[in-house]
Amino acid sequence: MKIALGVTGGVAAYKSAELVRRLQQEKLDIQVVMTRAAQEFITPLTFAALTGNKVITEMFARDGAAPANVESAIEHIAVAQRIDLLLVAPATADVLAQFAHGIAGDFLTTLYLATKAPVVVAPAMNVNMWEHPATRDNVAALRSRGVHVVDPGEGYLACGMIGAGRLAETESIAQKVCAVLGLRHDFAGQTVLVTAGPTREDLDPVRFLTNRSSGKMGYALAEAAVRRGARVVLVSGPTNLPAPAGADWIPVRSTEEMRGAVREHSAQANVIVMAAAVADYRPAIVHARKMKRAGERIALELEPTPDILAELGRERRENHTAPRSILVGFAAETEQIAERAREKLARKAADMIAANDVTQEGAGFDGDTNVVTLFLRDGRQIPLPKLSKFEVANRILDQVLDLQKP
């Protein structure tokens, strides 16, 4: 995920460097935007070195072109659309006033107006400035618009006075950012193995059998588990999706390759989610050379592929000493959803089957939403409404945590 960190001109600006480090632990990609005053306290070079990104320090170059550190003349719009959150720390009384009144005099204040991402501000200033009715009103206006304010702490201030105005602790600011972004740590210490996408079963060097799986559901699961603090291994059949940041991505092609990758990592996994649409059959003969047109009707002989999920379930059942992992399967059905899901739950010895009716609008392979019912081993059946695949992923992970409870 990408956030913009606005650094404004206060003594606490040096603490922003530490904040960058802390936020990087959350695997956030950070674009720093500095006001002119901030550069009096700390150099852009520090943030460029820490983040690996160019630091934005100005809106326009003197010749009217985009400045050297900005990709284009409308970069504020591009950044505004790209970020998942805007954080300003430290936020001076001046920047809070500009935000409150919609004054867009520089890159940061323009970015605030242009973004629809949530905004978090961590004010830092002299106690009298913080308590001034003007600042009070500005902060109240920002709160009423949904801006999240991490209140300053009390203590010795740089100006020698004692009182409220000190930039909140780095950890408090990081916690607020995580809460607003929905980053939880409830999978910390766990390894989640996810399979995604279709498999391809070769017929000859140029042809293969496959299915319409886009991989979106599995990738959403991997992303959700990463955000919740898990170590994630994503074994993926061929898809058009970019490898999710923060996950170990293992591309595979055939069912046999997927099986090999899953078996290699299953022993360390606390949770295994088989979201891949694995081919059930493969050509019994793979031709070494391209098959020639024969002119007549031909029949393809197919043989069953190994059922990866059923194998894992069987081994788990037979080996009682092995640490118990949670096994989750998917079932894409076109009829008799509940009966088929229950049958798969039993046959594959899984803990949960997430079943969907792929004929339903908003469910299935290509879309960004899914309509899923969770079938659990204890007989429970949890229907979920139509949700984004990311939200479905989180609901499945919530249920996994529930199953892990002693």
Return the number of the residue (33 or 374) whose C-beta is nearest ligand CTP: 374
SS3 249: strand
- Minimal distance, residue 180 CB to ligand CTP, in Å: 33
Residue whose token pair is 């059946």: 381
- Minimal distance, residue 338 CB to ligand CTP, in Å: 13
- Minimal distance, residue 330 CB to ligand CTP, in Å: 4
Return the number of the residue (309 or 363) whose C-beta is nearest ligand CTP: 309
Nearest residue to 369 via CA among 199, 195, 220: 220
Q: DSSP class of residue 291?
A: P
Q: What is the rounded CA–CA span in Å between residue 373 and residue 332?
A: 11
Return the number of the residue (256 or 398) whose C-beta is nearest ligand CTP: 256
Return the number of the residue (152 or 218) whose C-beta is nearest ligand CTP: 218
Residue whose token pair is 């999978």: 187
- Alpha-helical (H) ranges within 215-307 are 216-227, 255-266
Q: What is the rounded CA–CA span in Å between residue 221 and residue 229?
A: 13
Return the number of the residue (76 or 348) whose C-beta is nearest ligand CTP: 348
Q: Which of these segments, 127-135, 154-162, 240-248, 300-308, binds ligand CTP (CB under 6 A)? A: 300-308
Q: What angle do CA 391, 392, 393 make, to 5 degrees?
A: 85
222 binding ligand CTP? (CB under 6 A): no
Q: Are the beta carbons of 286 and 203 closer than 8 angstroms?
A: yes
- Minimal distance, residue 399 CB to ligand CTP, in Å: 15
Rounded to a whole number, what is the distance in angstroms from the first to the last CA of the chain? 33
**Structure-token pair, residue 16:** 């922003």
In this structure, the strands spanning 85-91 and 2-7 are parallel
Can you say how many angstroms the Cα of residue 170 is from the centroid of all Cα atoms in its chain? 22
Return the number of the residue (247 or 349) whose C-beta is nearest ligand CTP: 349
Strand partners, 195: 235, 274
Peptide bond into 90 cis (omega under 30): yes
Site for ligand CTP in 318-357 (CB under 6 A): 329-332, 344, 348
Catalytic residue among 11, 114, 159, 241: 159
399 binding ligand CTP? (CB under 6 A): no
305 binding ligand CTP? (CB under 6 A): yes
From 308, 345, 374, 396, residue interacting with ligand CTP (rule: CB under 6 A): 308
Based on the residue annotation, tell me whether 159 is a catalytic residue of this protein. yes
- Minimal distance, residue 348 CB to ligand CTP, in Å: 6
- Alpha-helical (H) ranges within 57-189 are 75-82, 93-101, 107-114, 127-131, 133-144, 170-181
Q: Which of these segments, 107-115, 214-222, 302-310, 357-365, binds ligand CTP (CB under 6 A)? A: 302-310
Strand partners, 201: 209
Site for ligand CTP in 235-294 (CB under 6 A): 255, 274, 276, 278, 280
Return the number of the residue (6 or 329) whose C-beta is nearest ligand CTP: 329
- Minimal distance, residue 350 CB to ligand CTP, in Å: 8
Strand partners, 331: 355
Binding residues for ligand CTP, rule CB under 6 A, total 15
Nearest residue to 26 via CA among 223, 220, 228: 228
Residue 204 exposed, middle or buried by CB count within 10 Å (0-12, 13-18, 19+): middle
- Minimal distance, residue 331 CB to ligand CTP, in Å: 4
307 binding ligand CTP? (CB under 6 A): yes
Q: DSSP class of residue 290?
A: P
Residues lying near ligand CTP in the complex (CB under 6 A) are found at 255, 274, 276, 278, 280, 305, 307-309, 329-332, 344, 348
Positions marked active-site: 159
